[in-house]
Amino acid sequence: MYWQETKENQRYTVPDDIVDVVYSIDCRALPVDHAYALSQAIQRALPWFAEEESAGLHTIHVADSGNGWMRPDDPNALLHLSRRTKLTLRLPKHRIEDAGKLMGQTLDIHGKHLRVEKSVVRPLSTITTLFSRYIVTREGTDEAIFLQEAMTLFHKMGVYPNKMLCGMEHVIATPDRVIRARSLMLADLAVEESVKLQQQGLGTDRKLGCGLFIPHKDIREVKPVLD
């Protein structure tokens, strides 16, 4: 755990060069470990997605998965989706129109059908508590080392978080390798720092849902999970 006192934030206008494109979907269930299959399906539908450096995929989560801090242990277990569940891509502004081609398509995710419906464009948030479900790490990296390495990378970006909490290690399977990652919560950022992290992310494998930060209401909501 890393903890300092709160810093003041100033008013800030969020640039629109990076946005989230949020799709309504029709899908009853997906495997817990669906990142690779979903990414591949999106790349088949949107061939440019794989090569677009700023593009990322938010993997799909549901309310009972604890915002990614708690997930079923069995990667073949199913997440049961509601009509409120969304599919979200983080994209540069110039790809918004291209991303519209995903609407109306039905994606095959390990034999589960996911139909993509209408989309809306959502700007990045000014909330100063951020959460990433998956930050890629090395096997055997403990919490203290993970936080120190993350802090070093943040400082190189000009980001100085006052509070950081990391979660348990997760495994993301692909045909070629096994990716190990930890969830990470940051709090009391400056608004400019928050937006920068949402724009740039941290680490590798954005197309598999890693390294992407999303806003979170309050770090206190997850602290008991780590006790």
Give pLDDT tens digits for 197-214.
999 999 999 999 999 999
The pLDDT-based confidence of 9 (bands split at 50, 70, 90) is very low
Residue 132 has pLDDT above 90, yes or no: yes
Amino acid at 33: D
Show the tokens assigned to 24: 């309504």
Distance CA 158, CA 179 (A): 27
Residue 226 has pLDDT above 50, yes or no: no
Number of Cβ atoms within 10 Å of the Cβ of 34: 22
Residue 218 is predicted with a pLDDT of 63
Residue 190 is predicted with a pLDDT of 94
Q: Which helix (H) or strand (E) holds 199?
A: helix 191-200
Residue 148 has pLDDT above 60, yes or no: yes
Amino acid at 131: F
- Give the SS3 label for residue 68: helix
Q: Which residues contact 140 (CB under 8 A, 6 or more apart)?
A: none
Show the tokens assigned to 25: 């979907």
Residue 68 is predicted with a pLDDT of 43
Q: Beta 56-58 vs 18-26: how paired, if at all?
A: unpaired
Give pLDDT tens digits for 53-103.
999 999 998 765 444 434 455 656 888 998 899 999 999 999 999 999 999
Note the pTM of the prediction, 2 decimals: 0.85
Give pLDDT tens digits for 58-67.
999 876 544 4
Residues 21-27 have a mean pLDDT of 97
Residue 83 is predicted with a pLDDT of 87
Q: What is the mean pLDDT of the chain?
A: 88
Percent of the chain with pLDDT over 70: 84
Residue 4 is predicted with a pLDDT of 54
Residues 180-186 have a mean pLDDT of 96
